[in-house]
Amino acid sequence: MSGAAGGGAARRTPVGRAGRQVVEEVRRQFREKPGIMAGTQKPEYGKKVAILTAAAQKALIRPLLIPVAVPVVVLRAQGRAAAGAAVAALGRELP
């Protein structure tokens, strides 16, 4: 099975990978703690939160580096005036 029906595309995206990890964690907890389904045990919510937080941070690293890296690269390549223009252009893109 491949494509959307098989989940092939979902595993390649950060959201798909994080979702897969959460599903695996939930399945593990159901296996190891049968009382979750009976309502006598509580699931470990912290593990799922940690998985999603780590995935979000990992996904945001590249977009957050752009405003930092562009002026540095432009400064080294073209000088101070061009770096100032790059910072101004990035500033206009912010909401």
DSSP assignment, residue 34?
T
Asked if residue 44 lies in contact with residue 29, where contact means CB atoms within 8 angstroms, the answer is: yes
Asked if residue 82 lies in contact with residue 74, where contact means CB atoms within 8 angstroms, the answer is: yes
Entry pTM: 0.58
Total domains, the chain: 1
How do residues 26-72 score in pLDDT, each as one tens digit? 999 999 999 999 999 999 999 999 999 999 888 888 888 887 887 77
Domain range for 74:
3-93
Question: Between 78 and 37, whose confidence is greater?
Answer: 37
Asked if residue 92 lies in contact with residue 67, where contact means CB atoms within 8 angstroms, the answer is: no
